[in-house]
Structure formats: structure tokens, C-alpha cells
Amino acid sequence: MRWTGQYDLPSQKKPAKCPFAHKERKHLENAVKSRLQSVKLGEPQTYKNIAIVPLIAPADGTFQYRTLGEALAAGDLVITEISANGSVPELLVVNRGNKPVLLIDGEELASAKQNRVLNTSILLKEASEAKIPVSCTEQGRWSYASKTFSKIDYATFFASLTSPVNLAICSEPNFS
């Protein structure tokens, strides 16, 4: 038997080809190519032995999206457990708005049965829902604090942690 570079298993069925797949792929490739051709290189920013070159796209208003925080604040985005029982590695996100929502890897979500952090960046289409991959950031709790999630505002969070420390230091008579 000669190696042909492919695995042909008799029990494996090949997926049927979608008649529109090639046309949609070409359309997407052309859109991406066109957008990339309009991108200009900005002035390189250097620090020691690293340089970062900004990519500047024209502000033509053709692509608009909301961030996780903006969509949650507007009430257009709802993030919940996937069921009443929940599932540690997945959440259900529903975008009820008319703009896509950008969910960025590493953003932390608080409440529901357990705090979680996003495992990947996702651009969620307008008026859609999806299951998103997450990781646990809170050990021990597996009970509802609320039915929906909210984004953790770290500026407020850290201020709440440091405020008692600052008060204790300032009230110390020998503090100078």
C-alpha cells in the first residue's frame, strides 16, 4: 500500500459540500482584502528594543460595535448560566442590540453561580445568542448570587479594597 498523503477510512463519510460555501468564502476574502488595503501604517513607537507600529484604518463608520461594558450598561446584552444547573466552562450570552458586541479574552464576569473569565475574544453578531467558553475565577461558591452576570469594574473594585487601608493609615497618629 502506498501513502497518498490522505487518510481514507471506509467508515468515514465526507461532508456534503454546500453550494454557497465557495461564493460566501470569496465574498469574505474580497471584503477582508479590501479592508486591509485601506489600512495605513502609523508612526512606529519604540522603547528600548521593541517597536510597535500602529495600524490605522479609515474611520468610515462601516463597522461599529459595542464593548461588553457598553452593551451590558445599555441593557442590550444578557449573560447567564446555560441552564438552571449551570456549567463551569460555558455561559449563555444574548445580544438583543442592533450592533455586534466585542467580548475580549480575559474580561471578568461577576455573579450568577460563580465568577468567570472569558477564554477567548468573540465578536457577537447583533440580535443573536451563543454559548461562550469561560474559566472559573472563584473557588468554592456554586450558588446563585444573581441570575445574570455583570462586568467587574476593576477601578471601583480596587478602590473598595484600598479605601479601608488608606483610612487606617491616615488615622494612625504616628504616620508621617
pLDDT (tens digit, 9 = 90+) per residue, 69-114?
Answer: 999 999 999 999 999 999 999 999 999 999 999 999 999 999 899 9
pLDDT (tens digit, 9 = 90+) per residue, 19-43?
Answer: 556 677 777 788 778 878 888 999 9
Q: Which three cell numbers stand for residue 74?
A: 445599555
Q: Given the C-alpha cell 460555558, which residue does it identify?
A: 90
Q: Tell me the average pLDDT across 57-74.
A: 84
112 touches 132 (CB < 8 A): no
pLDDT greater than 60 at residue 1 = no
End-to-end Cα distance, the chain: 84
CA 152 to chain centre: 14
- How far apart, in whole angstroms, are the C-alpha atoms of residue 125 and residue 38? 24
Give 57's pLDDT tier (boundaries 50, 70, 90). confident
pLDDT greater at residue 14 or residue 51:
51
- How far apart, in whole angstroms, are the C-alpha atoms of residue 88 and residue 135? 7
116, β-bridge pairs? 109, 136
Q: What is the pLDDT of residue 58?
A: 79
Return the domain boundaries, the chain.
Answer: 66-171
Say if domain 66-171 classifies as CATH 2.60.40.
Answer: yes
